[in-house]
Structure formats: C-alpha cells, structure tokens
Amino acid sequence: MQTKITKKKDDILFHYTSIGTLMKILDINDDKKICLRATHAKYFNDPFEYKLAVDMFKTSLVQYEKQNLIKDKKSQNFDKKSFASLGILAGYPYILSLSENADDLTMWRTYGADGKGVAIGFDKKMLNDYSEDRENINTRLIKCQYKKEAIIKGLIVYWDAIYNKINFQGKRISTESFRLIFDLSNFCFSFKRNEYQNEKEWRLCKNDWDNKNIRFQERDGLIIPYIEYTFPKEIIKKIIIGPCLNKLLTRESILLLLKSRKFQLTKESITMSRVPYRRI
C-alpha cells in the first residue's frame, strides 16, 4: 500500500498578493517557466528598516570595541552615511517577500488585498536552491530577524570573527575587506522591526546593478522599480483563496487557468481560507 506524501508546513513559503498579480504569474504561454517580481527595498512597507539596520550595525561595532577595550577604534572610520553607502556598493536591493504563515488574518488584511486576494505557496527548497545557484549572483534566501537585543549580540559575535580582517586605505575600506560590504547588505535585508515579528517573513533578495534588468510598474500613483526571478512552474505548490472572495467561482476559474497554461497542480492544491473574516 502506497503512503501519500504531503508537503509539510515548513516546506512551503507563502506570498500574499492580489488576484491581478496571481493572473500575471499564471497567465503565461511559456510551458516551463514563470516570473516573480522582486521590489526595490526602498518601496517596502517600513521605510525605516534599512536606516535602523545600519544604526544597529554601527552600534554593535562600537559595543564590541568597548567590551574588548580596543583603543585604535575602526568604528571611527565609519559614520552612518558611510555604512549606508557600503551596503549599496553591492548593488541596489530587490526583495520578494514570503511568509511561513499559510492562512493568517493579519497577512490577508495587509498583503492579501484585504481578504480578496490569494496566498501562493512556493517550494522552499527550490527557492533556496535558486539562491545558491552560481548563475544567480548576489541572490539569497534569508529568514528575517526581529529582536533587537538578540540581533546586536549576534553582530558582536560577528565582529569578533571579522574585526582584524577589516583594513583601510586612508578613510576608505580596502578591497581585501569587501566581505563586509556583502555581510552588511545581507544583514540589512534580514532586519525587520519587532512590530512585524508575527509575519514570520522570509525574503528572496538580490543586489543588482544592471539597469537592463530593472522594470517598472505603477502602484497607487507611484512608479515602482522591480526585477524578475525566473522559476520552473513546479515551484508553485499551493494556492489559498482569500476569505472575502467568491470562493467556489474563484477556485473554478483558477483551475481553468492552470489547466489552460499547463500547470500540473491538482485540485487539492487549490484550497479556501478558513479565516472567519468578513469585510463590512
């Protein structure tokens, strides 16, 4: 007797979005590939994330030097502007947001078109494999960090490992110390304020300098820059229909769209939200 293998909760990460965005992802003529959009980090929901991350990076460096009674302080070579500039040296930051939460009221309200959207479940291993592929330079899958005190403690451990490897030519960091640039960028990608910890967010991130890769879309009267990630169709494992949609009709139309575009998702993969949410 064969045992049916099902995806564990931890194997799937969810992207909450509108029906319109779902259509753009699914309604393609390519038999093998889909495109997902990663938005420029400056246009995310918390505009102070990057600034706060840079502040913590500098604060942890100063604390490390104080704890170790270091007299010739390398932190004096950095101000907040120079740290921020270092992070951008790796390229402009683009992010695709995902969540461990499969069917969550707050996520529906904030990111799922106030309950009239969908949550698209992506294969976590395929996302991670994509980030580790050598062809996808400067790309990584990162779990967000939220607790400031724990983050600073971790950064102090980081400085202990790298401090003696950081060198300067005048006031500029030497080329041998470029690891710091990418570490700073990774950290700034992963940091979120504590108020957002219930989102359990993961991010597929990339630094990109190539203007040829940048595309633009309009949202609420603002021009938003983004880049595209290309994946096999099989990366989509589940679609959850929002609590405020006509669930039966929406499920039927999604199934028709999937079939017409040669996706291999089963009917069981298209589920309906169980959240008791009604827009008034």
List pLDDT tens digits, range 251-268.
Answer: 999 999 999 999 989 999
| Share of residues in the chain with pLDDT > 70 (%) | 86
Q: Name the band, by pLDDT with cuts 50, 70 and 90, for residue 220.
A: confident
Closest CA to 200 of 145, 133, 251, 243: 145
What is the structure's pLDDT at 238? Answer: 97
Closest CA to 276 of 65, 104, 50, 22: 104
Q: pLDDT for 230-255, tens place per residue?
A: 999 999 999 999 999 999 999 999 99
Strand partners, 118: 17, 241
Task: Identify whether the C-beta of residue 102 lies closer than 8 Å to the C-beta of residue 124.
Answer: no
Q: Name the band, by pLDDT with cuts 50, 70 and 90, for residue 4.
A: very low
Residue 68: DSSP 8-state? T
Q: Name the band, by pLDDT with cuts 50, 70 and 90, for residue 96.
A: very high
d(CA 279, CA 114): 8
Q: Helix H segments across the chain?
A: 19-26, 49-67, 80-89, 105-111, 124-132, 148-162, 179-190, 247-260
Query: Based on the number of CB atoms within 10 Å of its own CB, is 148 exposed (0-12), middle (13-18) or buried (19 or more)?
Result: middle
69 φ, ψ (degrees, to nearest 5): 50, 40
Q: Helix H segments across 16-123?
A: 19-26, 49-67, 80-89, 105-111
Q: pLDDT for 126-148, tens place per residue?
A: 999 999 887 888 899 999 988 88
Q: pLDDT for 154-169, tens place per residue?
A: 889 988 888 888 776 6
What is the structure's pLDDT at 1? Answer: 29
Q: pLDDT for 21-33, tens place per residue?
A: 999 999 988 888 9
Residue type at position 131: S
